Structure 1
Amino acid sequence: MKEKLERYAIFRLLAALFRTRAVRFIIPVAVIALVYIEGSHELKQIHIGQTMRQLREMPKPAVLLILATALLSVAVMSGYDFLIRHHFRLKVSARTTFRYSWISNTFNNILGFAGLTGAGVRTLLYKRSGVPAAKMGQAVLFLSPMVITGLSILSWTVVAGIFPAWELFAVHKWLEVAVYGVGLYLVFFVGVQRSALFAKWFNRGGERIPFVTVGASLGASFLEWSFAATTFWLISRELLGPVSFSETVGLYIVAAVAGILSMAPGGLGAFDLTVLMGLQIMHHSSDEAMAVLVMFRLFYYIVPWLIGLLLVAVDFASKGLAGTGPEPEFLSESSSGETECPAVKKGAVPAPASASSCASATASTSEGSGILNAWQRFWRWPGQYGFLTDFGAWALGKLVLIGGLMLLLSAATPALLHRLRFTERLLSLPLMQLSHLLTVLIGFLLVLLSRGISLRVRRAYQLTTLLLWAGAVFSFTKAFDFEEAIFLLIVAFMLWISRDRFYRESAPVTGRLLGFWFLMTTLIALSYYLLGSHMLDGFFKHLPMKPRNRVVHDMLTPHDYAITAALGLAGAWFLITIMLLLRPYRQLKLGASPEELDQLTLFLQKTPGSYLTHMLYSGDKGLYWAKDGRVLFGYAKSRDKLVVLGDPLGPRELIADAIVEFQQYADKYALTVVFYQVGEDYLSIYHDSGYRFFKLGEEALVNLEAFTLSGKRNTDLRTVNNRFEREGYTFEVLTPPHTAELLQELNAISTEWLDGKKEMGFSLGWFDETYLQRAPLAVIRSANGQALAFVSLAPVYDRGRTMSIDLMRHRKDVPNGTMDWMFLRLLLWCKEQGCARFNLGNAPLASVGQNKRAMREERLASLVFRYGGRWYGFQGLRRYKAKFSPEWEPRFLAYPVSAVLPLLTVDLVRLVNRRMKTGG
């Protein structure tokens, strides 16, 4: 029965994890994979070289016309934002509305995921203009059903034969069904727009939607899809020659329907394969079809998105999306994804159990909160995307990344012949070849440095700025590629005007992160080589004349591409390694020095400690003194987090400001602060600082003033006490300094108890002679004087009122009840010493997630507590400590909203299970 319950608990755990993560993304990922598997035949016929040749030889006037139409296609999407601005009476200027629209719509086009990205970005942007997230939640829900109405209108034009797609339907009947389905959506939309149910769910105040608003939404959506279709036709006409406007637009409409139904970002996969098949049915080659796709994605998706990144970067540089000045991201309103919670502030609803509940609490006070809350719970909106916490810096980082990839792509693709000849007249061939190699090296370095830019690391900014200028110069000297040079100079200018915001000294670098970036850059290097070496024939074989120019022949060989890729990758990693070795990370103190421990002793003579304070003497934790030395944090580093052990020590009125000061200290190194095993006293302060909570368990505290061996309830304890006294066992408490002989004897007990297992640390003591010399030791000896068990005590530094247990060890063959007698005698001894309370330690996961409305993670922890006895005796430990009739105090984990709790749990487990080096 127990095994069945354990299997059921594991199944529930996996099911919940699957529901929270995988379901939200499995549909688009599966569709993309399926589409590309099914379309492998079409994809194999594509020659990248010929495709690139077609793109690079497009006439400039045609490029400008297509670009203008594509940008106009994105601009008309602002009609959505102007609609919600008017309907919800948002106090945002027209200029700001247009800018917010451009940014959110282009990000949504690139990342997609059922409109989730656009919703999150909109909420973040409008929040900077004072629009509450709850109100934007209603606005986004109001907007969501309108977006595809224009495509639905166009679907009817396909059905009516205005823009025919019959040949495509004949090959794939499901496309015809899909078009009819999207067409019917218009009927559904118009039918429910004026209904009371729609008004209750989606409209502010529950009022019916005015006819003017319905018409405006249909018009905005129709213009968006119509201009997009026109952009597609212009590209097709330029690359394919004279093509039928009606057939080309019909193909686009059908492909857009397939892309919408796939839910993938930008319709990736379904849209592309439908276009490939449709253009081949229209008697165009797969290379020509691929060129149309690449150009459409470039002009309609990537170029507008780059403009959106620049708009974000400009805002970041001028006033900042994270507030004014180079303040850390945790001080930003948007950093935690929090929403202002007026209902809680006014006392209209009880304070939420976690910081993330604030948006839900606010939304629950308004009309239509049911569907809003359900939508937020499923998608974890608006905090789904962590990059939104520091949007401006993230945008700059992506601009640098794109700049690096652009340099590599430019170096991998053959330059235009007339540019090569022009550059050869000005420069020598060796200089051009050196410029080509340095361009590749700079490209790899920019890719690697982009993360440092997103994290606002000062040294990354300095080196990146230099590389951008150098990359612009070498783009000219390599093959007169002025387009790349202009883009790099624009990015360099954006970095320069944002220079004051790069304040961090360094950022954490883990082995896993290095492995990821090494794998990514290796794949980029391989792609560079394959692109450069295998596309030459496809690039040149369709030219009227074969290239006979010496510079072309000498610069464009597969051997050169292989050498350049290897040298560029190796050189970039060599320079990055030197930077990592020389980074100023050593300023972050990861252990306490003997001088700091002496300072800790003086501090505790004036300031009360806590149940975990004695662990600071182990030396594996750094000590941070805030508020001019009046508040103390004991912390250790785990990956990208500084984990504080227990609550800060110091006057309560200084704690809030001290937390901000410590967060600023951690933020200089791109680290976040987590508080481990905190009590209830400071929860409101943590909440105001942007933290959520997870209950870790309960602390067992025995009231020594009420503790006695008399009474029926303590019969078992009296029996144990009488038996051990009768058999001649002795109990003694030894105060430091301890003799070397005693410590050697106890070390033998500890070694036998460990039985080859590794010592734990951080929140647990371990056998270290220097550490054990700081507190009393309780020892049980047999009748013949042999030490059988020992316990190290941990003073709480509250003027002797409380004592806590620390290290517990015993031999394997001790009599039953030995540790019961140890605890019993410790309680009596501490009572004799005048202590009021004794801390028996923590019972992990005790009383966690028992309420059915508790956090999902805590309910999962409750299953582990009940059915995880095979791995750890959670229930047994709590029952054991309950023998001594303790009072139970809860202990919590306080973590920032941006942290992912499962990953944080892994970091904490690793921290507790590793021994850190002592000393400074």
Structure 2
Amino acid sequence: MTRAATERDAARRWLPSGETTVKLLTWSTRVVALLAVLSVLLPGSRRPQLREALGAWLNLPEQATVAAGAVVLTSGVMLWLLANALRRRKRRAWQVAVVVTALITVAHAVAWRHGIGSGVTALVLCGALIATRKHFTAAPDPVYGKWRALRVALQLLGAGFAAVFVLLVGTPRRLSGDPSFLDAVSQSLLALIGVSGPVHPVAWLDDLTAAIGLVFGVGAALLGGYYLLRSAEPKPGLAADDEDALRALLATRGRDDSLGYFALRRDKAVVLSPTGKAAVSFRVLAGVALASGDPLGDLEAWPGAIERFLAECRANAWVPAVIGCSERGATVWVRYGLDAIELGDEAVVDATAFSLDGRAMRGVRQAVAKLRRAGYGVTVRRCSDIPDDERADLADLAERWRGTETERGFSMALSRACDPADPDCVIVTATRGTEVTGLLQFVPWGPDGLSLDLMRRDRATGDNGLNELMITDLLAACPTLGITRVSLNFAVFRAALERGGRIGAGPVARLWARALKLGSRWWQIETLYKFNAKFAPTWLPRYLVFPAVRDLPRVALAAMEAEGFGGRPPALLRVLNR
């Protein structure tokens, strides 16, 4: 078999069977949902005789029409929300979709007198879903399951019932006759589905209680459905066995990727190849399984780890994505039917050739000399060489100097500082007198490399150039540490900034560069590029890997949230995850 044929087979293994069928069902679901909503908002009056006959035969009350309209409207909205989960083949979404399409069909056939086409299309879709049930195999949410959905729905229904009941009981003069306690209870319950009960309030109170009850009833159905179908997001945590396996792989192949050590973040999960010689580390956010860097371990074992990772994504309806992989890594991922775009460049400095001499280094040289005259000193040590009490103090300072509520970084950040579990990390501290004013942490990149992890400084220190001083002294200390190469910050869209600033750049390149400079006001895009460029590094491209263009917004949201630059607001997450 040729290599091209092998790659095509690998891509087909990533794409599940029945892909076209699922796409068709997804769009059909959206069409049926839209028809259902329009049948309520824009009612017609086509051939209601059959429904009227069924209603009379079943002895349905007049209010059944209003209730059926509420059911159709709520079901239409829920069906629209279900379409995306069906696209990801979630089994629970399929189960709910079958129930919802059946409800729309029954509501149209029995009580709702408008939009017969919506009922017929819902019936056809229900049959199609049942006939294709084998394609919907993605596991349900392992953390936020049906019990949370039930709890939220009951809470909203209880709140709606209480609000209507208090209005009825608290305004007896606004009610016709002398309704009993049970009548008020019955009216409050029926209001949740838009049906009038045995109590007859004055017009404005009747409209108010009906509106409140229906809003809470529809809200319970929709929010309960959200919790029932929300993307699986396992609680982050690196198991001890997985950490041991990763450290063993780093000990043998750690020099292959400067981002390899960041696989030891404690908010990541790991999948190993069948042989245990390769691994993919990732975190699940917003339905995206976001891996970072290249797979760890033996290149020949990468396919086994990648296939297991993709299989887990299929089983849980996660969107697979990789942030910050190298060109070699992107080449391997693309063979599995994924796509890749250049995300930016990593700055790698050759420590053996670095020097402050020359005109190009004039700015760094002057900043370093100025701080030395001001009394600043720098200490470079392995984490294992720092006393425990001093290490704890440095970790405290790093936390205090962070400046933001969320930790920044994911693909090139370890999320901990001066930890005893990382004895080979290199800690660089800047001091003025006895006061520590700056801190850098570098993680190992194999036996002869370092990768920048943490860059913190006391914001009360007004002197510029402190980071330049610490990096310069680290590079000077590299020969005694046995280090030949140092990876600095990752510069996002560096090539685009550079192209847009060249003479003769086209209008699109200039416009894109201006947009990136505007974004630099919030995300330091241009600032990091210019800072890295001071040290005359070699630029190594890094890539973002994703399944399809339609998945890019979701992947971008997950990547921004992981890196601490946006995504879902933390306050919203705390509310949703209670």
Q: TM-score, normalised on structure 2?
A: 0.67
Aligned with residue 703 of structure 1, among 350, 364, 369: 350
Residue 600 (structure 1) aligned with residue 240 (structure 2): no
- Rounded Cα–Cα distance in structure 2 between residues aligned with 1:910 and 1:765: 14
- Rounded Cα–Cα distance in structure 1 between residues aligned with 2:109 and 2:360: 89
Following superposition, the deviation at residue 857 of structure 1 comes to: 7.8
| AA of the residue aligned to 2:94 | Y
Distance 1:402 1:717, change over 3 A: closer
Matches within 5 A, 1:683-762: 683-707=330-354, 720=368, 724=372, 729-736=377-384, 739=387, 741-747=389-395, 749-750=397-398, 753-754=401-402, 759-762=407-410
| AA of the residue aligned to 2:15 | L
Residue 848 (structure 1) aligned with residue 496 (structure 2): yes
- Rounded Cα–Cα distance in structure 1 between residues aligned with 2:371 and 2:35: 79
| Conserved? CA contact 2:376–2:430, under 8 Å | no
Residue 838 (structure 1) aligned with residue 486 (structure 2): yes
Q: Deviations over 1:435-482 (max 9, x none)?
A: 863564255225313442442322222233234445545544438998
- Rounded Cα–Cα distance in structure 2 between residues aligned with 1:564 and 1:451: 25
Which stretch shows the higher mean deviation, 389-398 or 826-835?
A: 389-398
Q: Secondary structure at the match of 1:681?
A: helix
- Rounded Cα–Cα distance in structure 1 between residues aligned with 2:236 and 2:399: 28
Q: Secondary structure at the match of 2:342?
A: strand
Which structure's CA Rg is the greater one?
A: 1
Distance 1:486 1:742, change over 3 A: same
Match in the other structure for 1:428? 59
Following superposition, the deviation at residue 794 of structure 1 comes to: 1.0
Distance 1:668 1:397, change over 3 A: farther
| AA of the residue aligned to 2:294 | D
Following superposition, the deviation at residue 744 of structure 1 comes to: 4.9
Aligned with residue 444 of structure 2, among 791, 795, 799: 795
Q: Secondary structure at the match of 1:848?
A: helix
Residue 805 (structure 1) aligned with residue 427 (structure 2): no
Match in the other structure for 1:893? 544
Aligned with residue 130 of structure 2, among 449, 474, 496: 496
Following superposition, the deviation at residue 500 of structure 1 comes to: 0.9
Matches within 5 A, 1:415-814: 419=50, 422-423=53-54, 426-430=57-61, 433-434=63-64, 437=67, 440-441=70-71, 444-453=74-83, 454-455=86-87, 456-473=89-106, 475-478=108-111, 487-506=121-140, 570-582=216-228, 586=232, 588=234, 590-608=236-254, 610-627=257-274, 629-656=276-303, 658-707=305-354, 720=368, 724=372, 729-736=377-384, 739=387, 741-747=389-395, 749-750=397-398, 753-754=401-402, 759-765=407-413, 768=416, 771=419, 773-774=421-422, 775-782=425-432, 784-796=433-445, 798=446, 800-811=447-458, 812-813=460-461
Matches within 5 A, 1:197-346: 331=15
Any stretches of 5+ residues in structure 2 without a counterpart?
A: 1-7, 145-195, 574-578
- Rounded Cα–Cα distance in structure 2 between residues aligned with 1:490 and 1:678: 45
Distance 1:508 1:698, change over 3 A: farther
- Rounded Cα–Cα distance in structure 1 between residues aligned with 2:542 and 2:505: 16
Following superposition, the deviation at residue 659 of structure 1 comes to: 3.7
- Rounded Cα–Cα distance in structure 2 between residues aligned with 1:862 and 1:616: 32
| Conserved? CA contact 2:491–2:528, under 8 Å | yes
| Conserved? CA contact 2:265–2:415, under 8 Å | no
| Conserved? CA contact 2:271–2:279, under 8 Å | yes
Q: Deviations over 1:399-447 (max 9, x none)?
A: 542564477479x6678675576446633244x7558635642552253
Q: Deviations over 1:19-67 (max 9, x none)?
A: xxxxxxxxxxxxxxxxxxxxxxxxxxxxxxxxxxxxxxxxxxxxxxxxx
Q: Secondary structure at the match of 1:605?
A: helix
| AA of the residue aligned to 2:543 | F
Distance 1:666 1:567, change over 3 A: farther
Structure whose residues are more often helix by fraction? 1
Of all paired residues, the percent bearing the same amino acid is 20
Distance 1:756 1:705, change over 3 A: closer
| AA of the residue aligned to 1:781 | T
Q: Secondary structure at the match of 1:729?
A: strand
Aligned with residue 393 of structure 1, among 15, 19, 25: 25
| AA of the residue aligned to 1:704 | A
Match in the other structure for 2:476? 828
| Conserved? CA contact 2:523–2:565, under 8 Å | no
| Conserved? CA contact 1:647–1:679, under 8 Å | yes
| Conserved? CA contact 2:32–2:118, under 8 Å | no
- Rounded Cα–Cα distance in structure 2 between residues aligned with 1:577 and 1:756: 31
Following superposition, the deviation at residue 819 of structure 1 comes to: 3.1
Following superposition, the deviation at residue 874 of structure 1 comes to: 5.2
- Rounded Cα–Cα distance in structure 2 between residues aligned with 1:817 and 1:710: 17
- Rounded Cα–Cα distance in structure 2 between residues aligned with 1:418 and 1:711: 92
- Rounded Cα–Cα distance in structure 2 between residues aligned with 1:840 and 1:630: 28
| AA of the residue aligned to 1:633 | V
Q: Secondary structure at the match of 1:826?
A: helix
| AA of the residue aligned to 2:496 | V
Q: Secondary structure at the match of 1:619?
A: coil
Following superposition, the deviation at residue 851 of structure 1 comes to: 5.6
Any stretches of 5+ residues in structure 1 without a counterpart?
A: 1-322, 336-387, 511-553
Distance 1:408 1:807, change over 3 A: same
- Rounded Cα–Cα distance in structure 2 between residues aligned with 1:621 and 1:681: 23
Match in the other structure for 2:179? none
Distance 1:476 1:589, change over 3 A: same
- Rounded Cα–Cα distance in structure 2 between residues aligned with 1:601 and 1:488: 54
- Rounded Cα–Cα distance in structure 2 between residues aligned with 1:394 and 1:566: 33
- Rounded Cα–Cα distance in structure 2 between residues aligned with 1:415 and 1:713: 80
- Rounded Cα–Cα distance in structure 1 between residues aligned with 2:267 and 2:524: 27
Match in the other structure for 1:100? none
| AA of the residue aligned to 1:785 | T
Q: Secondary structure at the match of 1:788?
A: strand
Distance 1:587 1:763, change over 3 A: closer
Match in the other structure for 2:189? none
Q: Secondary structure at the match of 2:297?
A: coil
| AA of the residue aligned to 2:436 | A
| Conserved? CA contact 2:75–2:103, under 8 Å | no
- Rounded Cα–Cα distance in structure 2 between residues aligned with 1:766 and 1:654: 25
Distance 1:477 1:865, change over 3 A: closer
Following superposition, the deviation at residue 642 of structure 1 comes to: 3.0
| AA of the residue aligned to 2:128 | M
Matches within 5 A, 1:63-212: none
Q: How many residues of Structure 1 are paired with residues of Structure 2 in the alignment?
A: 492
| AA of the residue aligned to 1:331 | L
Q: Secondary structure at the match of 2:549?
A: coil
Following superposition, the deviation at residue 904 of structure 1 comes to: 5.4
Following superposition, the deviation at residue 876 of structure 1 comes to: 5.5
- Rounded Cα–Cα distance in structure 1 between residues aligned with 2:18 and 2:121: 29
- Rounded Cα–Cα distance in structure 1 between residues aligned with 2:129 and 2:375: 79
Match in the other structure for 1:227? none
| Conserved? CA contact 1:745–1:787, under 8 Å | no
Following superposition, the deviation at residue 807 of structure 1 comes to: 0.9
Distance 1:861 1:640, change over 3 A: farther
- Rounded Cα–Cα distance in structure 2 between residues aligned with 1:724 and 1:842: 28
- Rounded Cα–Cα distance in structure 2 between residues aligned with 1:905 and 1:861: 18
Q: Secondary structure at the match of 1:465?
A: helix
- Rounded Cα–Cα distance in structure 2 between residues aligned with 1:472 and 1:866: 54
Distance 1:756 1:841, change over 3 A: closer
| Larger RCO (CA within 8 A; separation ≥ 6) | 2
